[in-house]
Amino acid sequence: MPGVIARLVGSAVILMLLAVGCGDGDGDAATETTKPETAATRAATGQGAASEFVAEVWADNWFALYVNGELVGEDSTPITTERSFNAETITFTATYPLTIAIEAKDFKETDSGIEYIGERNQQMGDGGLIAQITDVRTGKVVAVTSSGWRLKVIHRAPLNRECEKASDPDAACRFERTEAPPGWASADFDDGGWSAATEWTAGDVRPKDGYNKIKWDGAARLIWGSDLEVDNTILLRLTVPAPA
């Protein structure tokens, strides 16, 4: 089913219509531009109606954001871009309760978990992510990243950190990789077996380009797995109840 994603980048507004999970065999995204429903119109439709939200996300290095099981946006800078640090602002429409799910990836050149292989700065890269979601109608921040989010790591490497400077990391480094569980972003997925996300400080993550362009809510925390370097691909979930 097509979903409308409006990305607000600074003052520039780019409306993109993406074909998400297109099941009709037509892979071409439509180019139609839809004017978003106004808040006043929505308010008149009563409780349980869809609301508009703005998600602000900064990730080292890449993320995809799902709401109630649907992809609503992803980091526009490919993970393969060197120093792919940037903040994204994504607007979406959804109905409470919100199931927010994020896949985040720290860049790794191969499954070894190493980057800059063969270069002087060959190293384990590190990750980090911060996000906040604002209900446009009320102007209230309804979700911020914290240790209250559930987390599952699906790529860990290197498991033997001492391989970091090996001449052939693919031979020397061990890794652990699993697939994302089916339906992991959906509302009814049971994340009871997942762990709590780990909160990190700006000193730990050293957030770069884009991070300072967002006015982060005081409660928003940088989060990741329990190891900023070895945890390379993570899945995160949070459920946001309807406001009282």
112: contact with Ca ion by CB under 5 A: no
Between 51 and 232, CB nearer to Ca ion: 232
232: contact with Ca ion by CB under 5 A: yes
84: contact with Ca ion by CB under 5 A: no
60: contact with Ca ion by CB under 5 A: yes
Tokens of 121: 């700065």
Question: In whole angstroms, how close is the CB of 209 to Ca ion at the nearest point?
Answer: 12
Of 7-15, 116-124, 130-138, 204-212, the window that binds Ca ion (rule: CB under 5 A) is: 116-124
DSSP string, 20-41: -S--SS--PPP----PPPPHHH
**CA distance readout (Å), 58 to 12, 175, 216:** 18, 26, 10
C-alpha distance across the termini of the chain, in Å: 30
Q: Could you say which residues in the range 2-21 bind Ca ion, by CB under 5 A? A: none
Q: Which residues lie below 8 Å from residue 111, measured CB to CB, with a gap of 6+?
A: 155, 157, 170, 173, 175, 177
Between 143 and 153, CB nearer to Ca ion: 153
Between 60 and 135, CB nearer to Ca ion: 60
Between 4 and 57, CB nearer to Ca ion: 57
Question: Rounded to the nearest 5 degrees, what angle is found at the Cα of 40, between the Cα atoms of 94 and 87?
Answer: 45
Question: In whole angstroms, how close is the CB of 18 to Ca ion at the nearest point?
Answer: 26
Question: In whole angstroms, how close is the CB of 230 to Ca ion at the nearest point?
Answer: 6
Of 8-16, 161-169, 194-202, 224-232, the window that binds Ca ion (rule: CB under 5 A) is: 224-232
Which of residues 106, 197, 198, 236 is near Ca ion by CB under 5 A?
106
**Phi, psi (rounded to 5 degrees) for 160:** -110, 95
The rounded distance, in Å, linking the Cα atoms of 117 and 165 is 9
The rounded distance, in Å, linking the Cα atoms of 99 and 189 is 10
75: contact with Ca ion by CB under 5 A: no
Q: Could you say which residues in the range 139-198 bind Ca ion, by CB under 5 A? A: none
In this structure, are residues 110 and 163 in contact, taking their beta carbons and an 8 Å threshold? no
Of 9-17, 24-32, 118-126, 147-155, the window that binds Ca ion (rule: CB under 5 A) is: 118-126
Between 60 and 103, CB nearer to Ca ion: 60
Beta bridge partners of 65: 73, 102
* Interface ranges with Ca ion (CB under 5 A): 60-61, 106-107, 124-125, 229, 232
